[in-house]
A and B are shown apart, each in its own frame.
Chain A
């Protein structure tokens, strides 16, 4: 167990809807990164939050957005859901932002878009 929690565990949404996923980082960690993992693929970086600001972003459209709160927890919001958004969404926390710091994953949220 990493101490990183995510909610909900599973979610089913309809194309065009909006979804919010939540993550609580491991105690003492102030950086949260979000990844999308399609079936049979490695996780793809969406973005990272550090000190409540977006600290880096992967190749995802603006309809993917996020927030980090003063307690370092984070939300991932996806608007105008598409069928291809169906995936496992992973949150990872690290001690601080930076390439040298290990990232620990939560259990993930399985999103299905129909």
Chain B
């Protein structure tokens, strides 16, 4: 079982629709969760961080965390062609130990928003 799993896609949605990206993780002790966006040929860009169960909204983006189900998601409302990119889910472990501060990434979900 992979530590962080994402559906690789591609996920294709029409412009203006809601894109829903999902991620599951195996370490029940994980405490911090991040979503990065990566355009082709570029480096990952942080778009959301979430630490507590529930929803966190920032503009068109909403991150949702359910630690009991070990599940984190990202919703993109009113999707635009410029949102077309790979979305990476990253999970940070419990504090302490040699892996402190390490981010474990999923393989990413490719999102395509078509006009």
Contacts and interface: CB of A to CB of B under 8 A. Distances in A.
Interface in B74-102: 88, 90, 92-95, 97-102
B46 interface: yes
Nearest to B96: A99
Contacts of B102: 33, 45, 48, 56, 58
Given A98-B95, A99-B93, A106 B43 contact: yes
B49 interface: yes
Contacts of B4: 42
| Interface hub of A50, A55, A97 (most chain B Cβ within 10 A) | A55
| Interface hub of B46, B94, B99, B103 (most chain A Cβ within 10 A) | B103
A76 interface: no
Interface residues of A, number: 32
Nearest to A103: B103
Contact of B101 (A2, A40, A44, A50): A50
A88 to B, nearest CB: 8
Contacts of A107: 42-43
Interface of B: 4, 31-32, 34, 36, 42-46, 49, 51, 88, 90, 92-95, 97-108
Interface of A: 2, 31, 33, 35, 40-45, 48, 50, 55-58, 88, 90, 92, 94, 97-108
